[in-house]
Amino acid sequence: MIRFWPRRANGLPPGQRLLREMPRFTDTPLRPPPEAAPLHLSISVDRQIVAEFTAADLDALGPADHRADFHCVTTWSVKNLTWTGVPLERVVASVGLDARTAPYLIARSADRRRGHFLTVDALAPDVILATHLDGVALGGRHGGPLRLVAPAHYGYKSVKHLVGIDLRQDAPRRLGKEHLRGRVEQQERHPTLPSWLVKYPYRAMIPPTALLAERSLRKEPVMRPRAASRASRRRGLPSADR
């Protein structure tokens, strides 16, 4: 338990504490990660798919290393992580989309989780689609094969096991415990409650949550080979669903 108790340290954002390692962390710690599968990402506009990407397609866009700190909403932080990936802005631009396409963006996970964004936040230069952490390919522990990483936002925006990006005209209706922006420097931890009210209960749950999440990891099955075809892309943008 002491291994996962965060400590005070200099150089952290307001309300944060330092962990020495990046744990597996989730609000459902008894649930193992989804079964391993080849990387496959769909890009949609108002629920209509306009492009699909494989690992080879993302690799063709020029992945690079990006160093950043990681800040969980529950108040733990890990410093100086190196993620390898491609900026999300570059990915959507490759199929003719940008922040003017739609004001909101949803990142979808293979385990049915979602992260909600203002599109301008999601397409910031430091938001990437990562395939590696500190030189190691992402597996079940840290959200592989593809993870959205948004360093300026709390960790619930860095969606694990990413399978879809959907740009939307309509605002999210239900955010649960997620602030729409979730910016670390502004301490936007919760959509309705102030940061000072939630951060101490959150912090008390860090050690048991991390411990249970680590224990729930299971051996990932070997993936079957899959041909890495170029992205299939549909020309033109669809109208919104009604």
Distance CA 181, CA 67 (A): 22
- Nearest C-alpha neighbor of 99 from the set 121, 116, 115, 114: 121
Single-letter residue type at 92: V
Rounded to an integer, what distance in angstroms lies between the CA atom of residue 51 and that of residue 44?
7
- As a whole number, mean pLDDT of residues 210-215 equals 93
Whether 1 has a pLDDT exceeding 80, the answer reads no
Q: Please give the Cα distance from 214 to 119 (Å, whole number).
A: 32
First-last CA distance in the chain? 50
pTM of the model: 0.88
% pLDDT > 90, the chain: 84
Distance CA 65, CA 203 (A): 30
Q: How far apart are CA 141 and CA 144, in angstroms?
A: 8
Q: State the pLDDT at residue 236.
A: 39
**Number of C-beta neighbours around residue 10 at 10 A:** 5
Name all domains of the chain by residue range, CATH numbers in brackets. Answer: 2-215 (3.90.420.10)
Digit-coded pLDDT (tens) for 126-172 = 999 999 999 999 999 999 999 999 999 999 999 999 999 999 999 99
Q: What is the pLDDT of residues 32-77, one digit of tens each?
A: 999 889 999 999 999 999 999 999 999 999 999 999 999 999 999 9
